[in-house]
Amino acid sequence: MAIPHRVVIAVFPDVDLLDVTGPAEVFALANRTITGGAGYEVRLAGPLAGAVRTSAGVRLLTDLSFDEVGGQVDTLLVPGAVDITDEGPIARIDEDVVAWVKETATHARRVASVCVGAHVLAAAGLLDGKTATTHWSTAAQLAADHPAVTVDPDPIFVRTDRGRLWTGAGISACLDLALALVAEDQGEDVALAVARQLVMYLRRQGGQSQFSVPLSLPATSRRELDELRLWITEHLDEDLSTEVLAARMCLSERHFARVFKQETGASPAGYVEATRVEMARRLLETTDGPLDQIAAATGLGSVETLHRAFKRQLATTPAAYRRRFRTQTP
């Protein structure tokens, strides 16, 4: 019988609630998706076993005290807490938490911080000489407090130390980080299945992919149009001409184009191209597939069309984008 992957999430007073529950939900949904393999066992650990009050006022019950965690930790997940001041949010550093993280990280297979949890990893000396990210509002603090850390406030997450250390950006990016961990453990198909259950139409990558095209636009007033947008993301390699999309909506091309532009702010052709470029970005970030295969898989057809679309959407070339954002394991 497969041994479950043990995830230990640190919990302490005023911890950000979503930083704990978001990844936990991703791992729980992954367990429902995985067939025939090892799933996840998620445990909350705190300074003491029992109730812990989060920043939202909601209390969480820890499964273990820090002293009870033991040596078998596959993934150590470290969220954060902030103090609100007149100058803005300041990441809180609890020396007892830092000491426990520093000790536990020595025998954890993988360590990841969520949001301002990067400050805890930095205080434990785990990020020295490495690139890391955190919530944009405390990035300057992280850089000032830890000059040995290269702080990049832009990515959704940063993977370093041969995949052993991960740092994630703020708030909802905890879901993207957890999905990336699932993808590494279980494969892209499982991660994408979980993303769909979370109604995250496309799993955002690290690097530069800050927003998926469907999520960058608000829901429309027409349910059938929102369903069409999701259908587009699942059929990018097919004919997605305005004629085909209008027929699917049982509207004339002219009326469909007018309604689509009114509801989304984009033309059907512009929306399709942006969605195809986003998928091409994901493939460039995560695979070494040749450009002609990426062009075919995303419905852009040819390398020449792929180049033109990248120039229009991102003002760069596919090759330059891959050099900058291809996921590496330094």
3-state helix, strand, coil split of the chain in percent (to 5) is 45, 15, 40
What number does CATH give the domain 212-330?
A: 1.10.10.60
The answer to whether residue 103 scores a pLDDT higher than 60 is yes
In whole angstroms, what is the distance from residue 244 CA to residue 3 CA?
A: 48
- pLDDT-derived band at 219, boundaries 50, 70, 90: low
Percent of the chain residues topping a pLDDT of 70? 91
Among candidate residues 15, 52, 115, 202, the one labeled active-site is: 115
pLDDT digits over 229-286, tens only? 889 988 999 999 999 999 999 999 999 999 999 888 889 999 999 999 988 988 887 7
73 bridge partner residues: 108
Superfamily per CATH, domain 5-197: Class I glutamine amidotransferase (GATase) domain (3.40.50.880)
51 sits in which H/E element = strand 51-53
Higher-confidence residue: 151 or 170? Answer: 151
pLDDT score of 280: 92
pLDDT score of 208: 42
In whole angstroms, what is the distance from residue 177 CA to residue 158 CA?
A: 9
Q: Do domains 5-197 and 212-330 have the same CATH topology?
A: no
Q: Are 123 and 41 in contact (CB under 8 A)?
A: no
- Catalytic: 250? no
pLDDT digits over 137-164, tens only? 899 999 999 999 999 887 888 999 888 9
Q: What is the mean pLDDT of the chain?
A: 88
pLDDT score of 236: 93
- Distances in whole angstroms, Cα of residue 33 to Cα of each of 22, 40, 67, 236, 299: 17, 11, 32, 24, 28
Highest mean pLDDT among 4-8, 175-179, 278-282: 4-8
Token output for 248: 């699917």
pLDDT digits over 59-98, tens only? 999 999 999 998 899 999 999 999 988 888 899 999 999 9
Token output for 180: 């990336």
- Domain chopping of the chain, boundaries: 5-197, 212-330
pLDDT score of 215: 44
pLDDT score of 210: 38
pLDDT score of 329: 43
